[in-house]
Amino acid sequence: SNDPSIAISGSTVHVVWCDFRDSKKEIYYKRSTDGGANWGNDIALTPDDDETSNYPCVAVSGDTVYVVWQDYLDNCEVYYRRSADAGSNWEISERLTYAEASSIYPSVSVSDSKIHVVWTDNRDGNFEIYYKHSGEIQPDNLIKNPDESGYTGDDVYNEDGTDQTSEQTVDPGDTACYHVRIENDGDVFDTVAVTGTGSVEGWTVTYYDALEGGTDITADVTGSGWAIDSLCPGDFTEIRVEVIPDAGLPADSVCEVLVTSISERDTSRLDAVKATTTTQGGYQPDNQIKNHIDVTYTGDDVYNTDGANQTISQTILDGDTAIYHVKIENDGSVSDTFTVIGTASSASWDVYYYDALTGGTDITAQVTLPNVGWSTGELNPGDFIEIRMEVTPVSASDGSTYDVLVVSASDIADTCTDAVKAGTTVEGGTVEETETLVYSIDVSTLSSCKVGVYFTLPQANNVTLSLFDAAGRAVETLNLGMTEAGSHTADIGDAALSKGVYFVKLEAGEKVLTRKLVLTR
Protein backbone atom coordinates (compact mmCIF):
# COMPACT_ATOMS: atom_id res chain seq x y z
CA SER A 1 0.00 0.00 0.00
CA ASN A 2 1.69 3.21 -1.12
CA ASP A 3 1.29 6.70 -2.62
CA PRO A 4 -1.34 7.92 -0.07
CA SER A 5 -3.23 11.24 -0.28
CA ILE A 6 -5.47 12.82 2.37
CA ALA A 7 -8.19 15.53 2.44
CA ILE A 8 -10.37 16.72 5.32
CA SER A 9 -13.77 18.46 5.50
CA GLY A 10 -15.06 19.13 9.01
CA SER A 11 -14.73 15.92 11.00
CA THR A 12 -14.70 13.70 7.90
CA VAL A 13 -11.31 12.42 6.78
CA HIS A 14 -10.85 11.04 3.25
CA VAL A 15 -7.86 8.89 2.29
CA VAL A 16 -6.85 7.33 -1.05
CA TRP A 17 -3.85 5.18 -1.89
CA CYS A 18 -2.45 2.62 -4.33
CA ASP A 19 -2.76 -1.00 -3.19
CA PHE A 20 -1.14 -4.17 -4.56
CA ARG A 21 -3.35 -6.61 -2.65
CA ASP A 22 -4.76 -8.50 -5.69
CA SER A 23 -1.47 -8.83 -7.64
CA LYS A 24 -2.16 -5.57 -9.45
CA LYS A 25 -2.07 -1.95 -8.45
CA GLU A 26 -5.51 -0.38 -7.87
CA ILE A 27 -6.78 2.77 -6.17
CA TYR A 28 -8.56 2.36 -2.83
CA TYR A 29 -10.49 4.77 -0.66
CA LYS A 30 -11.71 4.85 2.94
CA ARG A 31 -13.06 7.49 5.29
CA SER A 32 -13.58 8.38 8.90
CA THR A 33 -16.57 10.50 9.88
CA ASP A 34 -15.33 11.21 13.41
CA GLY A 35 -11.98 12.83 12.86
CA GLY A 36 -10.01 9.60 12.44
CA ALA A 37 -11.22 7.77 15.56
CA ASN A 38 -13.07 5.13 13.51
CA TRP A 39 -12.78 4.13 9.85
CA GLY A 40 -15.10 2.64 7.27
CA ASN A 41 -14.43 -0.16 4.80
CA ASP A 42 -11.90 -0.06 1.98
CA ILE A 43 -13.55 0.82 -1.36
CA ALA A 44 -11.90 0.03 -4.70
CA LEU A 45 -12.26 3.02 -7.03
CA THR A 46 -10.59 1.58 -10.15
CA PRO A 47 -11.89 -1.19 -12.45
CA ASP A 48 -11.21 -4.82 -11.65
CA ASP A 49 -8.71 -5.48 -14.47
CA ASP A 50 -5.07 -6.35 -14.94
CA GLU A 51 -3.86 -2.81 -15.64
CA THR A 52 -1.95 -0.60 -13.24
CA SER A 53 -3.59 2.33 -11.42
CA ASN A 54 -1.42 4.43 -9.14
CA TYR A 55 -0.42 7.87 -7.87
CA PRO A 56 -3.86 8.97 -6.59
CA CYS A 57 -4.71 12.40 -5.20
CA VAL A 58 -7.84 13.44 -3.29
CA ALA A 59 -9.56 16.82 -2.70
CA VAL A 60 -12.80 17.67 -0.91
CA SER A 61 -15.31 20.55 -0.84
CA GLY A 62 -18.16 20.11 1.61
CA ASP A 63 -19.63 16.67 0.92
CA THR A 64 -18.16 16.38 -2.58
CA VAL A 65 -14.98 14.29 -2.89
CA TYR A 66 -12.73 14.39 -5.99
CA VAL A 67 -10.05 11.80 -6.83
CA VAL A 68 -7.57 11.71 -9.73
CA TRP A 69 -4.95 9.06 -10.60
CA GLN A 70 -2.85 7.75 -13.46
CA ASP A 71 -4.03 4.59 -15.19
CA TYR A 72 -2.73 2.30 -17.96
CA LEU A 73 -6.16 1.32 -19.35
CA ASP A 74 -5.49 2.95 -22.74
CA ASN A 75 -2.09 4.52 -22.32
CA CYS A 76 -0.72 6.16 -19.24
CA GLU A 77 -3.52 8.71 -18.81
CA VAL A 78 -5.12 10.73 -16.02
CA TYR A 79 -8.53 9.58 -14.75
CA TYR A 80 -11.05 11.23 -12.44
CA ARG A 81 -13.90 10.12 -10.19
CA ARG A 82 -16.32 11.99 -7.92
CA SER A 83 -18.61 11.32 -4.94
CA ALA A 84 -21.36 13.83 -4.21
CA ASP A 85 -22.29 12.32 -0.82
CA ALA A 86 -19.04 12.37 1.17
CA GLY A 87 -17.74 9.06 -0.21
CA SER A 88 -20.83 6.86 0.22
CA ASN A 89 -21.42 6.47 -3.53
CA TRP A 90 -19.18 7.17 -6.51
CA GLU A 91 -19.93 8.24 -10.05
CA ILE A 92 -18.37 6.49 -13.05
CA SER A 93 -14.74 7.13 -13.86
CA GLU A 94 -13.88 9.72 -16.51
CA ARG A 95 -10.73 9.99 -18.59
CA LEU A 96 -9.21 13.50 -18.50
CA THR A 97 -6.22 13.22 -20.89
CA TYR A 98 -6.06 11.90 -24.44
CA ALA A 99 -2.50 12.55 -25.63
CA GLU A 100 -0.64 9.57 -27.15
CA ALA A 101 2.28 10.17 -24.77
CA SER A 102 2.24 9.52 -21.04
CA SER A 103 0.34 11.70 -18.57
CA ILE A 104 1.46 10.93 -15.02
CA TYR A 105 1.61 12.10 -11.39
CA PRO A 106 -1.71 14.02 -11.23
CA SER A 107 -2.74 16.35 -8.44
CA VAL A 108 -6.21 17.82 -7.77
CA SER A 109 -7.59 20.78 -5.85
CA VAL A 110 -11.06 22.34 -5.65
CA SER A 111 -12.39 25.87 -4.99
CA ASP A 112 -16.03 26.98 -5.18
CA SER A 113 -16.99 23.71 -6.90
CA LYS A 114 -14.46 24.27 -9.73
CA ILE A 115 -11.96 21.43 -10.03
CA HIS A 116 -8.30 22.10 -10.88
CA VAL A 117 -5.96 19.31 -12.06
CA VAL A 118 -2.21 19.35 -12.86
CA TRP A 119 0.01 16.51 -14.10
CA THR A 120 3.30 15.69 -15.82
CA ASP A 121 3.05 15.12 -19.59
CA ASN A 122 5.61 14.26 -22.30
CA ARG A 123 3.40 14.74 -25.37
CA ASP A 124 5.94 17.23 -26.71
CA GLY A 125 8.93 14.89 -26.33
CA ASN A 126 9.92 16.06 -22.89
CA PHE A 127 8.09 16.13 -19.59
CA GLU A 128 6.16 19.35 -18.91
CA ILE A 129 3.48 20.41 -16.44
CA TYR A 130 -0.08 20.59 -17.83
CA TYR A 131 -3.23 21.99 -16.26
CA LYS A 132 -7.02 21.81 -16.84
CA HIS A 133 -10.12 22.78 -14.87
CA SER A 134 -13.71 21.58 -14.75
CA GLY A 135 -15.12 24.53 -16.68
CA GLU A 136 -18.81 25.35 -17.08
CA ILE A 137 -21.65 22.83 -16.94
CA GLN A 138 -24.81 23.76 -18.85
CA PRO A 139 -27.24 21.66 -20.90
CA ASP A 140 -29.19 23.70 -23.45
CA ASN A 141 -32.58 22.50 -24.72
CA LEU A 142 -33.95 23.92 -27.97
CA ILE A 143 -37.28 23.22 -29.70
CA LYS A 144 -38.98 23.72 -33.07
CA ASN A 145 -41.82 22.51 -35.24
CA PRO A 146 -40.63 20.14 -38.01
CA ASP A 147 -41.34 22.65 -40.81
CA GLU A 148 -39.29 25.39 -39.14
CA SER A 149 -35.70 25.96 -40.18
CA GLY A 150 -34.31 27.12 -36.85
CA TYR A 151 -34.67 26.09 -33.23
CA THR A 152 -36.06 28.28 -30.45
CA GLY A 153 -34.27 28.63 -27.11
CA ASP A 154 -30.58 28.79 -28.00
CA ASP A 155 -28.60 30.04 -24.97
CA VAL A 156 -31.84 30.41 -22.98
CA TYR A 157 -31.82 28.45 -19.71
CA ASN A 158 -34.77 27.96 -17.37
CA GLU A 159 -36.92 25.24 -15.84
CA ASP A 160 -40.37 26.18 -17.23
CA GLY A 161 -39.81 26.68 -20.98
CA THR A 162 -40.18 30.47 -20.90
CA ASP A 163 -39.08 32.00 -24.23
CA GLN A 164 -38.41 28.53 -25.62
CA THR A 165 -41.87 27.21 -26.43
CA SER A 166 -43.34 25.82 -29.66
CA GLU A 167 -47.07 25.70 -30.38
CA GLN A 168 -49.28 23.74 -32.75
CA THR A 169 -53.03 23.43 -33.34
CA VAL A 170 -54.26 20.09 -34.68
CA ASP A 171 -57.49 18.21 -35.20
CA PRO A 172 -58.44 15.62 -32.56
CA GLY A 173 -56.82 12.33 -33.58
CA ASP A 174 -54.02 14.02 -35.57
CA THR A 175 -50.37 14.21 -34.47
CA ALA A 176 -48.43 17.29 -33.39
CA CYS A 177 -44.71 16.60 -33.89
CA TYR A 178 -41.93 18.58 -32.21
CA HIS A 179 -38.13 18.41 -32.58
CA VAL A 180 -36.00 18.90 -29.47
CA ARG A 181 -32.22 19.45 -29.50
CA ILE A 182 -30.18 18.75 -26.34
CA GLU A 183 -26.86 20.57 -26.58
CA ASN A 184 -23.84 20.72 -24.27
CA ASP A 185 -23.22 24.45 -23.77
CA GLY A 186 -20.57 23.74 -21.13
CA ASP A 187 -16.86 23.31 -21.82
CA VAL A 188 -16.44 19.79 -20.36
CA PHE A 189 -17.82 16.37 -21.14
CA ASP A 190 -21.20 15.83 -19.54
CA THR A 191 -23.84 13.16 -19.13
CA VAL A 192 -27.39 14.52 -19.40
CA ALA A 193 -30.65 12.96 -18.21
CA VAL A 194 -33.70 13.92 -20.30
CA THR A 195 -37.12 13.84 -18.64
CA GLY A 196 -40.50 14.81 -20.08
CA THR A 197 -44.23 15.05 -19.45
CA GLY A 198 -46.04 11.75 -20.04
CA SER A 199 -49.45 10.92 -21.45
CA VAL A 200 -52.48 12.34 -19.64
CA GLU A 201 -56.21 11.77 -19.99
CA GLY A 202 -57.24 12.54 -23.55
CA TRP A 203 -53.63 12.93 -24.79
CA THR A 204 -50.90 10.50 -25.85
CA VAL A 205 -47.27 11.68 -25.62
CA THR A 206 -44.47 9.61 -27.18
CA TYR A 207 -40.71 10.22 -27.40
CA TYR A 208 -38.22 8.89 -30.01
CA ASP A 209 -34.42 9.07 -30.15
CA ALA A 210 -34.37 10.44 -33.72
CA LEU A 211 -36.14 13.14 -35.71
CA GLU A 212 -37.48 10.43 -38.04
CA GLY A 213 -38.08 6.79 -37.14
CA GLY A 214 -35.82 5.84 -34.25
CA THR A 215 -36.47 3.95 -31.02
CA ASP A 216 -39.32 4.65 -28.64
CA ILE A 217 -37.69 6.06 -25.48
CA THR A 218 -40.93 7.14 -23.77
CA ALA A 219 -40.54 4.79 -20.79
CA ASP A 220 -37.11 6.25 -19.98
CA VAL A 221 -38.00 9.91 -20.60
CA THR A 222 -41.16 9.76 -18.50
CA GLY A 223 -39.49 7.57 -15.88
CA SER A 224 -36.09 8.12 -14.28
CA GLY A 225 -34.75 9.87 -17.39
CA TRP A 226 -33.15 8.99 -20.72
CA ALA A 227 -29.36 9.30 -20.49
CA ILE A 228 -27.09 10.94 -23.08
CA ASP A 229 -23.61 9.71 -22.11
CA SER A 230 -20.39 11.71 -22.48
CA LEU A 231 -21.74 14.58 -24.55
CA CYS A 232 -18.76 16.63 -25.76
CA PRO A 233 -18.78 20.43 -25.37
CA GLY A 234 -20.74 21.91 -28.29
CA ASP A 235 -22.17 18.55 -29.38
CA PHE A 236 -25.89 17.79 -29.37
CA THR A 237 -28.48 15.06 -29.67
CA GLU A 238 -31.92 15.47 -31.28
CA ILE A 239 -35.11 13.69 -30.26
CA ARG A 240 -38.73 13.77 -31.48
CA VAL A 241 -41.86 14.33 -29.40
CA GLU A 242 -45.28 13.31 -30.75
CA VAL A 243 -48.46 14.60 -29.08
CA ILE A 244 -51.83 13.14 -30.14
CA PRO A 245 -55.21 14.39 -28.83
CA ASP A 246 -57.94 11.76 -28.59
CA ALA A 247 -60.55 11.84 -31.34
CA GLY A 248 -63.28 12.79 -28.87
CA LEU A 249 -61.63 15.89 -27.42
CA PRO A 250 -63.57 19.15 -27.84
CA ALA A 251 -62.12 22.21 -29.53
CA ASP A 252 -59.59 24.37 -27.65
CA SER A 253 -58.36 21.54 -25.42
CA VAL A 254 -54.70 22.15 -24.47
CA CYS A 255 -51.78 19.88 -23.55
CA GLU A 256 -48.43 21.28 -22.37
CA VAL A 257 -45.37 19.01 -22.56
CA LEU A 258 -42.21 20.06 -20.71
CA VAL A 259 -38.90 18.46 -21.76
CA THR A 260 -36.08 18.98 -19.26
CA SER A 261 -32.38 18.08 -19.49
CA ILE A 262 -30.36 17.81 -16.26
CA SER A 263 -26.58 17.58 -15.93
CA GLU A 264 -25.46 14.52 -13.99
CA ARG A 265 -22.34 16.39 -12.94
CA ASP A 266 -24.36 19.11 -11.24
CA THR A 267 -28.11 18.50 -10.99
CA SER A 268 -28.73 22.20 -10.37
CA ARG A 269 -27.69 22.83 -13.98
CA LEU A 270 -30.69 22.17 -16.24
CA ASP A 271 -32.78 23.57 -19.06
CA ALA A 272 -36.36 23.00 -20.25
CA VAL A 273 -38.42 23.62 -23.38
CA LYS A 274 -42.20 23.45 -23.74
CA ALA A 275 -44.51 22.14 -26.46
CA THR A 276 -48.09 23.45 -26.34
CA THR A 277 -50.69 21.60 -28.42
CA THR A 278 -54.27 22.86 -28.89
CA THR A 279 -57.16 21.07 -30.56
CA GLN A 280 -59.01 22.99 -33.22
CA GLY A 281 -62.72 22.61 -33.93
CA GLY A 282 -62.37 19.19 -35.42
CA TYR A 283 -65.91 18.11 -34.54
CA GLN A 284 -68.51 20.85 -34.20
CA PRO A 285 -72.16 20.80 -35.33
CA ASP A 286 -73.72 24.24 -35.71
CA ASN A 287 -77.51 24.40 -35.37
CA GLN A 288 -79.28 27.50 -36.67
CA ILE A 289 -82.99 28.35 -36.71
CA LYS A 290 -85.45 30.75 -38.33
CA ASN A 291 -89.15 31.24 -38.89
CA HIS A 292 -90.00 29.74 -42.25
CA ILE A 293 -90.71 33.18 -43.76
CA ASP A 294 -87.50 34.76 -42.44
CA VAL A 295 -84.58 35.27 -44.81
CA THR A 296 -81.67 34.56 -42.49
CA TYR A 297 -80.96 32.03 -39.77
CA THR A 298 -80.19 32.80 -36.14
CA GLY A 299 -77.35 31.10 -34.28
CA ASP A 300 -74.48 30.95 -36.78
CA ASP A 301 -71.21 30.11 -34.93
CA VAL A 302 -73.06 30.02 -31.60
CA TYR A 303 -72.62 26.73 -29.73
CA ASN A 304 -74.46 25.68 -26.58
CA THR A 305 -76.81 23.05 -25.18
CA ASP A 306 -79.81 25.21 -24.23
CA GLY A 307 -80.50 27.35 -27.32
CA ALA A 308 -79.32 30.57 -25.67
CA ASN A 309 -78.86 33.35 -28.25
CA GLN A 310 -80.29 31.08 -30.93
CA THR A 311 -84.00 31.03 -30.08
CA ILE A 312 -86.95 31.93 -32.35
CA SER A 313 -90.52 32.67 -31.21
CA GLN A 314 -93.93 32.70 -32.89
CA THR A 315 -97.43 33.58 -31.64
CA ILE A 316 -100.26 31.77 -33.42
CA LEU A 317 -104.01 31.18 -33.10
CA ASP A 318 -105.27 28.00 -31.51
CA GLY A 319 -105.28 25.39 -34.25
CA ASP A 320 -102.76 27.17 -36.48
CA THR A 321 -99.28 25.76 -37.10
CA ALA A 322 -95.97 27.46 -36.39
CA ILE A 323 -93.33 26.43 -38.94
CA TYR A 324 -89.61 26.64 -38.23
CA HIS A 325 -86.57 25.90 -40.38
CA VAL A 326 -83.48 24.35 -38.78
CA LYS A 327 -80.06 24.23 -40.46
CA ILE A 328 -77.50 21.68 -39.22
CA GLU A 329 -74.05 22.71 -40.45
CA ASN A 330 -70.64 21.07 -40.08
CA ASP A 331 -68.45 23.78 -38.54
CA GLY A 332 -65.68 21.26 -37.84
CA SER A 333 -62.58 20.67 -39.92
CA VAL A 334 -63.23 17.02 -40.76
CA SER A 335 -66.12 15.10 -42.28
CA ASP A 336 -68.67 14.11 -39.66
CA THR A 337 -72.16 12.72 -39.17
CA PHE A 338 -74.52 14.37 -36.70
CA THR A 339 -77.37 12.85 -34.71
CA VAL A 340 -80.39 15.15 -34.28
CA ILE A 341 -82.72 14.83 -31.27
CA GLY A 342 -85.71 17.11 -30.66
CA THR A 343 -88.53 17.73 -28.20
CA ALA A 344 -91.54 15.47 -28.78
CA SER A 345 -95.26 16.24 -28.78
CA SER A 346 -97.16 16.71 -25.53
CA ALA A 347 -100.80 16.34 -24.52
CA SER A 348 -101.53 19.90 -25.63
CA TRP A 349 -99.09 20.33 -28.53
CA ASP A 350 -98.22 18.41 -31.69
CA VAL A 351 -94.63 18.56 -32.93
CA TYR A 352 -93.57 17.09 -36.29
CA TYR A 353 -90.21 17.01 -38.06
CA TYR A 354 -89.52 16.65 -41.81
CA ASP A 355 -86.26 16.16 -43.73
CA ALA A 356 -86.94 19.07 -46.12
CA LEU A 357 -88.10 22.68 -45.87
CA THR A 358 -91.17 21.82 -47.98
CA GLY A 359 -92.68 18.38 -48.33
CA GLY A 360 -90.11 15.74 -47.46
CA THR A 361 -90.31 12.65 -45.26
CA ASP A 362 -91.72 12.62 -41.75
CA ILE A 363 -88.73 11.92 -39.47
CA THR A 364 -90.53 12.64 -36.19
CA ALA A 365 -90.22 9.08 -34.88
CA GLN A 366 -86.43 9.14 -35.19
CA VAL A 367 -85.86 12.71 -34.00
CA THR A 368 -87.97 12.29 -30.86
CA LEU A 369 -86.59 8.87 -29.89
CA PRO A 370 -84.27 9.46 -26.90
CA ASN A 371 -80.68 8.22 -27.24
CA VAL A 372 -81.31 7.33 -30.89
CA GLY A 373 -82.17 10.40 -32.98
CA TRP A 374 -82.12 11.05 -36.70
CA SER A 375 -78.86 10.93 -38.66
CA THR A 376 -77.87 13.72 -41.04
CA GLY A 377 -75.57 11.44 -43.01
CA GLU A 378 -71.95 12.40 -43.60
CA LEU A 379 -71.34 16.13 -44.00
CA ASN A 380 -68.07 17.59 -45.26
CA PRO A 381 -66.67 20.66 -43.47
CA GLY A 382 -68.91 23.64 -44.30
CA ASP A 383 -71.76 21.51 -45.66
CA PHE A 384 -75.23 21.57 -44.10
CA ILE A 385 -78.66 19.98 -44.19
CA GLU A 386 -82.02 21.67 -43.48
CA ILE A 387 -85.08 20.24 -41.80
CA ARG A 388 -88.57 21.60 -41.06
CA MET A 389 -90.34 21.63 -37.71
CA GLU A 390 -94.10 22.18 -37.32
CA VAL A 391 -95.62 23.01 -33.91
CA THR A 392 -99.41 23.05 -33.48
CA PRO A 393 -101.44 23.72 -30.31
CA VAL A 394 -104.27 21.17 -30.02
CA SER A 395 -105.67 21.84 -26.58
CA ALA A 396 -103.33 24.48 -25.18
CA SER A 397 -104.75 27.28 -23.08
CA ASP A 398 -104.57 30.87 -24.31
CA GLY A 399 -101.21 32.47 -23.60
CA SER A 400 -99.40 29.16 -23.02
CA THR A 401 -96.00 28.55 -24.64
CA TYR A 402 -94.35 25.34 -25.74
CA ASP A 403 -90.55 25.29 -26.11
CA VAL A 404 -88.99 22.85 -28.55
CA LEU A 405 -85.24 22.16 -28.31
CA VAL A 406 -83.37 20.64 -31.26
CA VAL A 407 -79.89 19.26 -30.44
CA SER A 408 -77.27 17.96 -32.85
CA ALA A 409 -74.29 15.89 -31.65
CA SER A 410 -71.17 14.66 -33.45
CA ASP A 411 -71.20 10.90 -33.96
CA ILE A 412 -67.40 10.82 -33.46
CA ALA A 413 -67.19 13.17 -30.47
CA ASP A 414 -70.61 13.06 -28.83
CA THR A 415 -69.62 15.79 -26.36
CA CYS A 416 -69.49 18.24 -29.29
CA THR A 417 -73.08 19.48 -29.60
CA ASP A 418 -75.21 22.48 -30.46
CA ALA A 419 -78.86 23.32 -29.80
CA VAL A 420 -81.51 25.77 -31.01
CA LYS A 421 -84.90 26.52 -29.47
CA ALA A 422 -88.34 27.43 -30.83
CA GLY A 423 -90.89 28.98 -28.49
CA THR A 424 -94.50 28.89 -29.73
CA THR A 425 -97.25 30.81 -27.93
CA VAL A 426 -100.97 30.25 -28.51
CA GLU A 427 -103.33 33.23 -28.72
CA GLY A 428 -107.05 32.40 -28.82
CA GLY A 429 -109.99 34.20 -30.54
CA THR A 430 -110.28 36.60 -33.51
CA VAL A 431 -110.56 40.36 -33.68
CA GLU A 432 -114.31 40.23 -33.32
CA GLU A 433 -114.13 38.02 -30.23
CA THR A 434 -111.52 40.12 -28.46
CA GLU A 435 -112.92 42.38 -25.75
CA THR A 436 -109.59 43.75 -24.52
CA LEU A 437 -107.25 45.03 -27.16
CA VAL A 438 -104.28 42.73 -27.73
CA TYR A 439 -101.99 42.14 -30.67
CA SER A 440 -103.92 39.91 -33.10
CA ILE A 441 -104.12 39.15 -36.81
CA ASP A 442 -106.54 37.34 -39.10
CA VAL A 443 -106.65 36.92 -42.89
CA SER A 444 -109.15 36.21 -45.67
CA THR A 445 -109.21 36.15 -49.47
CA LEU A 446 -111.00 38.92 -51.36
CA SER A 447 -112.72 38.42 -54.71
CA SER A 448 -109.82 40.14 -56.44
CA CYS A 449 -107.47 37.50 -54.97
CA LYS A 450 -105.92 40.10 -52.75
CA VAL A 451 -105.47 38.99 -49.16
CA GLY A 452 -107.46 40.83 -46.55
CA VAL A 453 -105.58 41.34 -43.31
CA TYR A 454 -107.38 42.25 -40.08
CA PHE A 455 -105.21 43.19 -37.12
CA THR A 456 -105.52 44.82 -33.74
CA LEU A 457 -102.95 46.93 -31.87
CA PRO A 458 -103.23 47.55 -28.11
CA GLN A 459 -101.01 50.62 -28.60
CA ALA A 460 -99.71 52.73 -31.46
CA ASN A 461 -96.74 51.19 -33.23
CA ASN A 462 -94.82 51.05 -36.51
CA VAL A 463 -96.43 48.29 -38.57
CA THR A 464 -95.10 46.22 -41.48
CA LEU A 465 -97.13 43.55 -43.29
CA SER A 466 -95.35 40.93 -45.40
CA LEU A 467 -96.69 38.16 -47.66
CA PHE A 468 -94.56 35.03 -48.25
CA ASP A 469 -95.10 31.91 -50.31
CA ALA A 470 -94.66 28.39 -48.95
CA ALA A 471 -90.93 28.41 -49.77
CA GLY A 472 -90.37 31.53 -47.68
CA ARG A 473 -89.95 33.88 -50.66
CA ALA A 474 -91.27 37.41 -50.15
CA VAL A 475 -94.22 38.27 -52.42
CA GLU A 476 -94.99 41.75 -51.17
CA THR A 477 -94.18 44.01 -48.22
CA LEU A 478 -96.32 46.90 -46.94
CA ASN A 479 -94.78 49.48 -44.64
CA LEU A 480 -97.81 51.04 -42.90
CA GLY A 481 -95.72 53.27 -40.67
CA MET A 482 -96.98 54.48 -37.31
CA THR A 483 -100.49 53.04 -36.79
CA GLU A 484 -102.91 53.95 -34.01
CA ALA A 485 -104.13 51.48 -31.39
CA GLY A 486 -107.32 49.64 -32.34
CA SER A 487 -108.58 47.46 -35.17
CA HIS A 488 -107.37 47.92 -38.75
CA THR A 489 -107.63 46.32 -42.17
CA ALA A 490 -105.25 46.19 -45.10
CA ASP A 491 -104.99 44.41 -48.45
CA ILE A 492 -101.85 42.68 -49.72
CA GLY A 493 -101.19 40.64 -52.87
CA ASP A 494 -102.62 40.85 -56.41
CA ALA A 495 -104.62 38.92 -59.00
CA ALA A 496 -101.49 37.09 -60.11
CA LEU A 497 -101.43 35.00 -56.95
CA SER A 498 -101.68 31.32 -57.82
CA LYS A 499 -103.34 28.77 -55.60
CA GLY A 500 -101.27 27.37 -52.74
CA VAL A 501 -100.11 28.10 -49.21
CA TYR A 502 -99.11 31.61 -48.17
CA PHE A 503 -98.15 33.30 -44.93
CA VAL A 504 -98.84 36.81 -43.70
CA LYS A 505 -96.45 38.31 -41.12
CA LEU A 506 -97.33 41.30 -38.98
CA GLU A 507 -94.42 43.19 -37.40
CA ALA A 508 -95.40 45.81 -34.83
CA GLY A 509 -92.26 46.93 -33.03
CA GLU A 510 -90.86 43.80 -31.40
CA LYS A 511 -94.16 41.93 -31.74
CA VAL A 512 -94.30 39.44 -34.63
CA LEU A 513 -97.46 37.50 -35.59
CA THR A 514 -97.82 35.06 -38.47
CA ARG A 515 -100.95 33.61 -40.12
CA LYS A 516 -101.30 30.85 -42.67
CA LEU A 517 -103.55 31.28 -45.76
CA VAL A 518 -104.56 28.71 -48.41
CA LEU A 519 -105.66 30.01 -51.85
CA THR A 520 -107.76 27.40 -53.65
CA ARG A 521 -108.81 29.18 -56.89
136-194 pLDDT, tens digit each = 889 999 999 999 999 999 999 999 999 999 999 998 888 999 999 999 998 778 899 99
Residue 220, amino acid: D
Distance CA 286, CA 304 (A): 9
What pLDDT score was predicted for residue 328? 98
What pLDDT score was predicted for residue 75? 80
Burial of 110 (0-12, 13-18, 19+ CB in 10 A): buried
What pLDDT score was predicted for residue 266? 83
Q: Is the pLDDT of residue 108 over 60?
A: yes
pLDDT range class, residue 521, cuts 50, 70, 90: low
Q: Report the DSSP pairing between strands 311-317 and 417-427.
A: parallel
Q: Which of 81-85, 114-118, 204-208, 435-439 has the highest mean pLDDT?
A: 204-208
CA distances from 509 to 428, 461, 464, 483, 488 (A): 21, 6, 9, 11, 16
Judge whether 17 and 5 are in contact, CB under 8 Å. Answer: yes
Calculate mean pLDDT across residues 480-505. Answer: 82
**DSSP string of 160-184, one letter each residue:** S-TT-EEEEEE-TTS-EEEEEEEEE
Q: Please, which residues bridge with residue 129 across strands?
A: 120
Integer Rg of the chain from CA: 42
What pLDDT score was predicted for residue 189? 81
Q: Which of 264-278, 307-321, 483-497 has the highest mean pLDDT?
A: 264-278
Nearest to 255, CA basis, from 174, 201, 189, 181: 201
Nearest to 187, CA basis, from 221, 226, 143, 140: 140
pTM for the full model? 0.47
What pLDDT score was predicted for residue 199? 97
Distance CA 96, CA 133 (A): 10
Distance CA 144, CA 165 (A): 8
Any idea of the CA torsion for 63, 69, 73, 77, to the nearest 10 degrees?
120
How many beta carbons lie within 10 A of that of residue 376, not counting itself?
22
Nearest to 292, CA basis, from 263, 318, 326, 330: 326
| Averaged pLDDT score across all residues of the chain | 89
Q: What contacts 20, CB < 8 A, 6 or more positions away? A: 1
Burial of 272 (0-12, 13-18, 19+ CB in 10 A): buried
pLDDT range class, residue 459, cuts 50, 70, 90: confident
pLDDT range class, residue 366, cuts 50, 70, 90: very high
Burial of 302 (0-12, 13-18, 19+ CB in 10 A): middle
Q: Is the pLDDT of residue 396 over 80?
A: yes
Judge whether 380 and 330 are in contact, CB under 8 Å. Answer: yes
What pLDDT score was predicted for residue 50? 62
Judge whether 343 and 407 are in contact, CB under 8 Å. Answer: no
**Three-class secondary structure of residue 352 per DSSP:** strand
Q: Report the DSSP pairing between strands 165-170 and 270-279.
A: parallel
pLDDT range class, residue 434, cuts 50, 70, 90: very low
* Strands of the sheet with 451-457, listed across from one edge: 440-445, 451-457, 486-492
In this prediction, what percent of the chain has a pLDDT beyond 90?
A: 61
pLDDT tens string 37-75: 999 999 999 876 667 899 999 999 999 999 999 998 778
Nearest to 268, CA basis, from 188, 155, 158: 158
What pLDDT score was predicted for residue 447? 52
Q: Is the pLDDT of residue 103 over 60?
A: yes
What pLDDT score was predicted for residue 412? 84
What pLDDT score was predicted for residue 326? 98
Distance CA 163, CA 271 (A): 12
Q: What contacts 37, CB < 8 A, 6 or more positions away? A: none
pLDDT range class, residue 449, cuts 50, 70, 90: low
What pLDDT score was predicted for residue 48? 66
